Amino acid sequence: MHSFPELSKIFEEKFITRHFPASPGSLYDPAEYMLRLGGKRIRPVMCLMGNELVGEIVPDTYHVATAIELFHNFTLIHDDIMDKAPLRRGVETVHTRFGEPTALLSGDVMLVMAYEYLNKIKGEAVHKVLQLFNRTAKEVCEGQQLDMNFEQQPEVSFDEYLKMIELKTSVLLAASLQLGALLGGAGNGNQHHLYEFGKNLGIAFQIQDDYLDAFGDPDKFGKQVGGDIVANKKTFLSIHALEVASGDNAKELKRLLESSEVNKVKNILAIYKSCNVDEWAKTLKEKFLQTALVHLEKIAVLSARKKPLHELAEYLIHREH
């Protein structure tokens, strides 16, 4: 059994190899470029963790973990096109560097390559893996579509927003864990609780993301605080603030959200604080974390086997950057 950092290292060493043919380079080099941008590889590592919850790592799990990471990168390439994002992790996005048509096609071929890795699984297990993978892939597309819809929608309820985050972010984390467990031979009950652990953890993770963007320590956060506010992005904080602010506070918040004035970030943060949005977010995050941990508790394996998952939760939820 391995710790979270150990599994990260094991996966990264296997993953950092060329995944696509050399030719035509005009199609495959942009795909390789994307994979070289790095990232925390959280999802494939979660897949390995799901496997180690049950026993020793089954070799097929590496194929599925690789497929998950390719799928995730496919969504990033296409999301960046849809969002017209110039940069990712501080460097040019694929479409900025190689043009939109090529980026679109490189994303497509990356999704096909994910299925190539899934097809390396031996025997009939491939059916169950594909079923969960396909359902999750559809849900992630649905989440991205809802996210785009919400950008055009003046009012989005908390429940609608939560559903979107669940689809866009959480289900892939949950499925990564479950796919690992499934390959390890876990029973349906354990698979279910592991999925729910991942899903609730994913939501808590997103709340923490939104919280840090607004209230993170600028020295630790690593990027400009208030980025979401500047970009007019809907977040757990903005959705909740609009629901609870009243009177002049509500009017001023709506005005500020549509403005682009110099003190926008400062003034919106002041309203968030006056509505206790910061404390609300911390409480909400803890609520989802606790739900996640209840599901982790219910998984019927030796508690020592759950240690890396506790580490993971700690890492994702209490990080300051």
Among 54, 68, 81, 214, binds a second copy (CB under 8 A): 81
Nearer to a second copy, 114 or 214 (CB): 114
Among 13, 17, 56, 124, binds a second copy (CB under 8 A): 124
Question: Where does this chain touch a second copy (CB under 8 A) — which range of 124-132, 224-232, 234-242, 274-282?
Answer: 124-132
Nearer to a second copy, 119 or 224 (CB): 119
127-186 residues in contact with a second copy (CB under 8 A) are: 127, 130-131, 134, 137-138, 141-142, 144-146, 148-149
Nearer to a second copy, 94 or 299 (CB): 94
Query: Does 82 sit near a second copy (CB under 8 A)?
Result: yes
At residue 185, the 3 state secondary structure works out as coil
The candidate with the shortest Cα–Cα distance to 244, out of 173, 183, 126, 157, is 157
Q: How far is the CB of 249 from a second copy (least distance, A)?
A: 32
Nearer to a second copy, 143 or 308 (CB): 143
Cβ-based neighbours of 145, under 8 Å, separated by 6 or more = none
Cα–Cα distances in angstroms (integers) from residue 186 to residues 45, 65, 67, 204, in the given order? 17, 17, 20, 25
The alpha carbon dihedral of 96, 100, 106, 110 has a sign of positive
Query: Does 116 sit near a second copy (CB under 8 A)?
Result: yes
Nearer to a second copy, 144 or 191 (CB): 144
17-76 residues in contact with a second copy (CB under 8 A) are: 24, 26-27
Q: How far is the CB of 199 from a second copy (least distance, A)?
A: 19
Question: Where does this chain touch a second copy (CB under 8 A) — which range of 120-128, 197-205, 250-258, 260-268?
Answer: 120-128
Q: How far is the CB of 25 from a second copy (least distance, A)?
A: 10
Among 13, 22, 123, 246, binds a second copy (CB under 8 A): 123
Q: How far is the CB of 215 from a second copy (least distance, A)?
A: 31
Residues that bind a second copy (CB under 8 A): 24, 26-27, 78, 81-82, 100-102, 104-105, 107-109, 111-113, 115-116, 118-119, 123-124, 126-127, 130-131, 134, 137-138, 141-142, 144-146, 148-149
